[in-house]
Structure 1
Amino acid sequence: MSIILSAIKSFRSFSGIYNFTVGNAIMLVVACVLMYLAIAKDFEPILLLPIAFGCFLANIPAAKGTFFSINPAYVRDLTGTVKPTALLDFFYFLVKSEILPPLIFLGIGAMTDFGPLLANPVSLLLGASAQFGVFVAMVVAKVLQFSIGQAGAIGIIGGADGPTAIYTATKLAPELLGPIAVAAYTYMSLVPLIQPPIMRLLSTHEMRSTVMEQLRPVGKLERILFPIVTTFVIAILLPPVGPLVGMLMLGNLLRESGVVERLSNTAANELINICTLFLAVAVGASMNAESFLNLQTLYIIGLGVIAFGFSTAGGMLLGDLMWVMSGHKINPLIGSAGVSAVPMAARVSQKVGQKDNPANFLLMHAMGPNVAGVIGTAVAAGIMISLLGH
């Protein structure tokens, strides 16, 4: 009998049931809600589904040593080299070591058409104005007693650019990488839920119904010179973000050159899909109860909402001004696409615009501010790292 009782006790401890906590239960519910939003509501499932399942794995107690460490401070081998210890730790290591964000930017560049931006350069102003939330959240974070470096890293969430937020956090606040990455990618996934109320609040039916003129054609020479010139200017002025911008523009040059179709297709499909899967699962797996359910993390999640909301509002308000100054020729909804969630924010501008005017086709117009937002967020990150880095 004692042997049986001992075996039962050992199994209970080994199975993880013994270590199951209320925090685990809360986070498992959160994971299931996120999976529901991804599957049933189609809220950017490419990001949200692997994030949700990563969170699900990390909060099954038996999985802590198998899939993901509670606090992945990797063990050292006999040579003193720090190595990951569990499956998802390897994914997380690729995030912390700044490997995945530039590779994802390479894929984004290969997928992105900068033509709408080149055809309508005023889009750069909308992309810049949509960084407003970055600085608002930074100020609020400093008031909440975060260090200036931590505040800068938290503020970048407002750019709605996951890879840039992760890259900035590794430079300025590596200790906050988990919650910052979670906030950035979660809000990117929830763009269709968060942005429309702000867009409707800051515009009228007449504004949203505005039909814009067709964009001019953009020549091949412009398309080829743009990534080369942009890389040189940004990398020489803001070296810290040179790797991100360089990979973004390399991907775009592969696309626009027309001579390396195999490389362009690989970057835009297989490479970015693999990197996104690894990064999203690792981000979700950092949402374990022990590190996630605390006041500091809740502050960061709240600041992410502030950052994202003010960034959307900044783009919309400049869009409103442009609507007036252009004689009602610019639809202000494209301003909300100035956050760099490509192409999610542009699609939201299209959907909201068509609800007020079914003849409205804003997608290509919104892509200008959208891709400008990618560059704008990278510039904001470069400024933060240059001024606040040690």
Structure 2
Amino acid sequence: MEFLWEGVMAITPQQVVMYLIGGLLIWLAVKKEYEPALLLPMGFGAIMVNLPLSGVINQVTEGIGETQGIIQWLFETTISASEALPILLFIGIGAMIDFGPLLSQPIMFLFGAAAQFGIFFAICAASLMGFELRDAASIGIIGAADGPTSILVSQIMHSNYVGAIAVAAYSYMALVPIIQPFAIRLVTTKKERRIHMTYSPKNVSKTTKIAFPIVVTIIVGLISPASVALVGFLMFGNLIRECGVLPALSQTAQNELANLITLLLGITISFSMRADAFVRVDTLLIMGIGLIAFIFDTIGGVLFAKFMNLFLKTKINPMIGAAGISAFPMSSRVVQKLAMEEEKGNIILMHAVGANVSGQIASVIAGGLVIKLVSQYL
């Protein structure tokens, strides 16, 4: 009967910590509804991979030899070897995005760029804290507010902290409604948050909407070749949406494809959450740096909007700048909710959406640029 207790006796304190972390992620997904499609499988996967002699990761058994675990196999084939899951998810994300508000207000591209400041600030902070450059670059991308981009960059950089980076990226994306209002209020006045903006969208032709993803892919591919996979699949998904001849595929990409890949990505990335690689002081530092990156992304976008107001006759509500992060559409909704709390009837949602979708593109480009720049020093 001793073999029945073998697993129980093999549990380590670090694995117990991971059971608690897995339970916390599941609680956040179910009780708080924070990114449930991703946090729930991540939480459950974290428990599975930390069971002693777990069959979901490769094990060597006496008399049998090595047996292959499904989660480790998924990780090695769809993330480690090819980054297939995070890249394929961008097809679904692209199919969900309407770039109309951005194309009718091209100035919103600037807010997407400005709101990436936190990435480079976090890279510098991580480097100063002693992380290797490849790890510092991967940690900094948490500030992109884009889970798939964070996972992809950390894999390409061969970072030692893929699991911690994934948890930080998606956790803070889920906490955007808590983090962003704090950061916005930190650098704005009540008067600034009450600024009204008139939305007078220009008519965007179907031809323009079809040409946009093609042109963006070409331009970004020439400037930042490392971004082609991310931007290309994002824009391909958008092209499916806008072409008008593939409605069934567009709906499939937005729903079935995106949901299935999100579930697989969540449970697969849990392989990086094994206790020996996750329960470390470095993990706490990564979570802290990731939080700083999110806050400085928001502050960077807001301060850029305030800077523009120095030269504009018609003032911009600086909260629009905060929507320049990649957390679409959550960030634009947070900005609109905050505007309504300050003054009922203040509708700035479509401006925020324009900045928000520009942030989706900017974060992917930033990830590619970081890969290109860091690769030159490795």
TM over 0.5: same fold?
yes
Question: Which residue in 2 is equivalent to 1:154?
Answer: 139
1:249 Cα deviation after fit: 0.7
Q: 2:33 aligns with which of 42, 45, 49?
A: 42
Pair 1:11 & 2:12 matched: no
**Alpha-carbon distance between aligned partners in 2 of 1:150 and 1:371, rounded to the nearest angstrom:** 27
Q: CA RMSD in A?
A: 2.2
User: Contact 2:112–2:325 at 8 Å: present in 1 too?
Assistant: yes
1:303 aligns with 2:289: yes
Superposed, 1:180-195 pairs within 5 Å as 180-195=165-180
The alpha-carbon deviation at position 37 of structure 1 amounts to 2.4
User: For residues 171 and 256 of structure 1, what CA distance do their matches in structure 2 show?
Assistant: 31
Query: What is residue 317 of structure 2 aligned with on the other side?
Result: 331
Q: Aligned partner of 2:100: which letter?
A: G
Q: Does 1:232 align with 2:218?
A: yes
Residues in 2 aligned to 1:35 and 1:121: alpha-carbon distance in whole angstroms: 40
8 Å contact from structure 1 (residues 210, 328) kept in 2: no
3-state SS in 2 of match to 1:360: coil
Residue 248 (structure 1) aligned to one of 226, 234, 240: 234
Structure 1 residues 365, 17: CA separation in 2 closer, same or farther (over 3 Å shift)?
A: same
Q: Match of 1:299, SS?
A: helix
The aligned runs of 1:81-100 (5 Å cut-off) are 85-93=68-76, 94-96=78-80, 97-100=82-85
Please state how far the C-alpha of 1:259 moved relative to its aligned partner.
Answer: 0.9
Evaluate the alpha carbon distance shift between residue 344 and residue 68 of structure 1 in structure 2; reply closer, same or farther with a 3 A threshold. farther
- Which residue of 173, 187, 202 maps to 1:202? 187
Q: 1:328 to 1:18 in 2, by over 3 A?
A: farther
| Correspondent of 2:104 among 119, 122, 138 | 119
1:378 aligned residue (350, 353, 364) = 364
TM-superposed deviation, 1:45: 2.2
Kept after mapping to 2: 8 A contact 1:104/1:272: yes
2:199–2:350: 8 Å Cα contact kept in structure 1? no
Contact 1:215–1:365 (8 Å) recurs in 2: no
Between the aligned residues of both structures, percent identity stands at 43
* Equivalent AA in structure 2 for residue 21 of structure 1: T
Asked whether the equivalents of residues 162 and 272 of structure 2 are also in contact (C-alpha less than 8 Å), the reply is: no
Per-residue deviation, 1:296: 2.3
Give the Cα–Cα distance (whole angstroms) in 1 for the partners of residues 179 and 58 of structure 2.
32
For 1:240 and 1:115, the matched residues in 2 are separated by 26
Conserved? CA contact 1:322–1:332, under 8 Å: no
The one-letter code sitting in structure 1 at the alignment partner of 2:169 is A
Distance 1:171 1:84 in 2: 27
- Given that 1:43 and 1:192 are in contact with CA atoms closer than 8 Å, whether structure 2 keeps it comes out as no
The answer to whether the 8 A contact 1:44-1:190 is kept is no
Between stretches 133-142 and 281-290, larger displacement belongs to: 281-290
1:314 — aligned with what?
A: 300
Q: Work out the CA distance in 1 between the residues paired with 2:67 and 2:296.
A: 38
Matched, 1:31 2:22: yes
* SS of match in other structure, 1:329: coil
Aligned with 2:42 (options 34, 38, 51): 51
Unaligned runs of 5+ in 2: none
Q: Distance in 1 between matches of 2:213 and 2:84?
A: 21
Aligned 8 A contact 1:48 1:189 in 2: no
Cα shift at 1:368: 1.2
Give the CA deviation at 1:327.
4.1
After superposition, the C-alpha distances for 1:254-276 in whole angstroms (9 at most, x for unaligned) are 11110111221111111111111
2:79 maps to a residue whose letter is V
Cα distance in structure 1, aligned partners of 2:371 and 2:272? 24
Query: Which residue, out of 94, 103, 110, partners 1:109?
Result: 94
- Alpha-carbon deviation of 1:198? 0.7
Amino acid at match of 1:17: V
The two structures have a TM-score, normalised by structure 1, of 0.88
Q: Which residue of 1 aligns with 2:150?
A: 165
How many residue pairs get matched? Answer: 369
Instruction: Give the distance between the partners of 1:147 and 1:215, measured in 2 at CA.
Output: 48
